[in-house]
Amino acid sequence: MYTSLAAAKAAVIAVGEEIATLGLPAGISPLVFVFTGSGNVSEGAQEIFKLLPHSFVQPSKLPELFGMVGDLAQHSRASKRVFQVYGCVVTCQDMVAPKDDPTRSFDKADYYAHPEHYSPIFHERIAPYASVIVNCMYWEKRFPRLLSTKQLHELKGKGSPLVGISDITCDIGGSMEFINQTTTLEKPFFRYNHFSNTYHHDMEGDGVICLSIDILPTEFAREASQHFGDILSQFIGSLASTKNISDLPPHLKRACIAHEGILTPLYEYIPRMRNSASETLSTNDGTGLSNKKKYTTLVSLSGHLFDQFLINEALDIIEAAGGSFHFVRCDLGQNSNAISYSELEVGADDRTILDQIKDSLTSIANPSGDHGRVLNKETNKFFLKVGKVNECIVENEDELKKTPAVLILGAGRVCQPAAEFLASKGSISSRHWFKTCMDADSEEPKDVKVIVASLYLKDAEEIVEGIPNSTAIQLDVMDYGSLCKYIAQVEVVISLLPPSCHSVIANACIELNKHLVTASYVDNSMASLDEKAKTAGVTILCEMGLDPGIDHMMAMKMINQAHVKKGKIISFTSYCGGLPSPAAANNPLAYKFSWNPAGAIGAGRNSATYRSLGEIVHVDGNDLYDSAVRCRIADLPAFALECLPNRNSLVYGDLYGISGEASTIFRATLRYEGFSEIMGCLAKIGFFDTDVHPMLKEGNKKTTFSTFLEELLKIKTSENSVGSENAEGTVREENEIVRRLVMLGLCKERATPMNTAKFIKFLGLHENVEIPAACQSAFDVTCLLMEERLAYTSDEQDMVLLHHEVEVNFPDGRPREHHCATLLEFGRTENGKTTTAMALTVGIPAAIGALLLLQDKIKTRGVLRPLEPEVYMPALDMLEAYGFKILEKMEND
């Protein structure tokens, strides 16, 4: 409706100037625009909104904005004119909450996988404060509605300030149930009267004004059309006057997809791909694989496949040799600089022909070993990569029996030791130690094919590099068809993905009668699959890592041995920690991160419950650091440690069968001494606060770390010492921080203020450097600096320490027994490559679980933990044979 985008923006700015000058009517203030979603659509809507005088508020702060308490209808709107509008961006975590526990942390991946497990909360937490809802989010029928007709009626009945809805999503009867029609550019609005449940096209009357134009995505600004037209007009003459396409200039000839009703030769790959897809659908056996050819292999091609038309050459090679191909996956690069990726199942009736195809594809990809070839030296290089060839595992029954296979989902740090362990099972050394761990009738381990799957092929390829019998594939586990295709080809699946993905994977394994191993806790969604897995004859072995995992196995071995001797467990204590090795604990906190510190900091705010001498003790999350106590492990006197209670220890009494006999059940996280004092002090200062800080709000002038520190501590650091190398200035500044910490009364111990001040300076919070715009809270700032300053260097090792203590009484008067079991493991460096102790102690148990299932040593079916002898006895033997040192000790009182 405007002559240009600039003119449209000018009109909005004019409205903004009127608001800034005259203010909004008191009766409609505060005027709050709620934007759903944070993608491109939402950002575009916000771009226009920001032309008005505005402030953004967090969803949690909406009630404060209204100053509301009690029923919405009783709240008074602003009595004075307000000279700005307010914006609030909400995402799915503000719209739904888990049904089983609304207080549980929101898990986006789990929500997308299982939206049926979530209830809508938008109508309760956000909509009551919204004047206008700008709906910019994607929605499907499987998701809860954003706002139902009934919810709108209830909101308006309680005095909701909602006056308008801009439904850019425009799903008729969808996320906004009462949006039952589309509107046009000429008549963009309709009015929904919630009192009478009627719809009107005039704006005079009660109700909510709704915009629902379904063709908004086609509405380009005039400038865009003009720009495109100016460029295109340069080519129209040549295209319109040419009858023979070969007479066109090369750039236009290459751009012509069709001529005289048929596809041009460069674009012949399009029908070939279509035919491939239709043939696959008509010939697959339910696993997603074609069975037309006796031998198949999976080939991955990446590079400028389509913009440089290399895909034609690859398909020509396959067909010329008498082979077949089926496109399994195809991801197109979105611009001329981006590469494309395709995954093809290539088949042939003769293995020699298949090998010939592979060699030919490899030769055009690497004609001189340089991983690419130049199409035109004056333009750009393009590449064809042939990924690691994955011979079809299911060639015939004999081949399947000879070579079992394991699919590992996830290509993080934990994956590599698991893949290496399984892929080496056929080696002579592995056969030797395997026989020492298993019973006499166990078969020697066969070669195990290992398939590593990741959303990003490059990550999986880096994992399998140098590992025999291994293959890398690209796989999105949310693509259920592709997931089932690969699960169907193996005997056991190991999922090293986030717990939210496990339910989808477990259901696929049950459906295809395949065993599954994870290192994650058994949550409600996984536990609910127990009967289903038993019926299918499938084992889902969970908690097969370090903690949970090795801790279960070490504990159950001691507990069951005591019970066999008719003993009674009167005390169970367990400590576990991932720490820097002593040499790497070279900072004031004596701690380092090999992952994002946000999770570790968050864990330090969890409440804890345990039993001590028959009394139940509860520690609030805010007091966790204050509850830390010194911990000495007799066999490791050199380690000065402390322990923090770890969540709910009582559940382990039930798991281990000792609830009715143990008066003490205590599990704790290990840290070096001094950790809790510093972290507790930082928490009290406010370094872990997650609310948007006024100094870091968008639009504020740039803030430096030093000025932010001054604000938190209410001090003024010395200008001469900030960022200075001067020793006297550094001491003076450090003393000022110490003085303020003491004045605030934040530290219990005398040494704590000094240690905390040293750590604050170690992080760089005293430096006169601008804080990045992405940091909007003190928590963001702290995590950023911790991730930078507390990272391991390439030559530093981490350490895992797990220690159990069990006290056993005997009713017949035998002396009380004190049992200890300790695992101490350091990161390992081989051939210049370091594997962390944490990765080893999580990845190897998971791989051992898979191997035991391959050998059919675990007979129990359903969802289980490694609590039974059939799992933990051979697993512990194999861990020790692998090289983990588990020291066991027993003393009598």
What is the CA angle 35-39-44, rounded to 5? 65
- Rounded to whole angstroms, how far apart are CA atoms 126 and 90? 8
For residue 418, what are the contacts with CB-CB under 8 A and spacing of at least 6?
A: 408, 494, 496, 843, 844, 846, 847, 850
Phi and psi angles of residue 730, each rounded to the nearest 5 degrees, phi first: -65, -45
Sign of CA dihedral 48, 51, 52, 56: positive
Closest-CA residue to 604 (of 579, 580, 629, 622): 622
CB 644, CB 679: distance < 8 Å: no
Cα–Cα dist 312/342, whole Å:
13
Provide the sign of the torsion angle of the four alpha carbons 462, 474, 515, 290, taken in this order: negative
364: helix, coil or strand?
A: helix
**Closest-CA residue to 336 (of 278, 379, 292, 276):** 379
Those residues whose C-beta lies under 8 Å from the C-beta of residue 131, and which sit 6 or more positions away, are 28, 30, 31, 32, 33, 161, 162, 163, 164
Q: Which amino acid, residue 714?
A: K
Only one residue has tokens 């009109």, namely: 11
Residue 74's SS3 state is helix
CA distance 586 to 791: 11
How many degrees, rounded to 5, is the angle at CA 793 between CA 789 and CA 795? 160
Dist CA 389 CA 358 (whole Å): 8
Amino acid at 812: D
Place of tokens 């056929």: 426
For the CA atoms of 739, 742, 743, 747, the dihedral, rounded to the nearest 10 degrees, stands at 150
For residue 12 the two structure tokens come to: 């909005």
DSSP string, 435-500: HHHS-TTPPPPPP-EEEEEESSHHHHHHHHTT-TTEEEEE--TT-HHHHHHHHTT-SEEEE-S-GG
877 in active site? no
DSSP code for 811: T
Catalytic residue among 94, 167, 547, 551: 547
Burial of 402 (0-12, 13-18, 19+ CB in 10 A): exposed
Name the nearest CA neighbour of 478 among 101, 142, 90, 97: 142
Distance, in Å, from the CA atom of 767 to the CA atom of 723, rounded to the nearest integer, reads 5
CB 475 within 8 A of CB 503: no
- For residue 770, what are its two tokens? 């601008």
Asked if 95 and 123 count as a contact pair (C-beta separation under 8 A), the reply is no
Question: Could you tell me which of 877, 135, 126 has the C-alpha nearest to residue 439?
Answer: 877
Q: Calculate helix-pair angle for 752-763, 675-685, nearest 10 degrees.
A: 70
Task: Report the catalytic residues.
Answer: 547
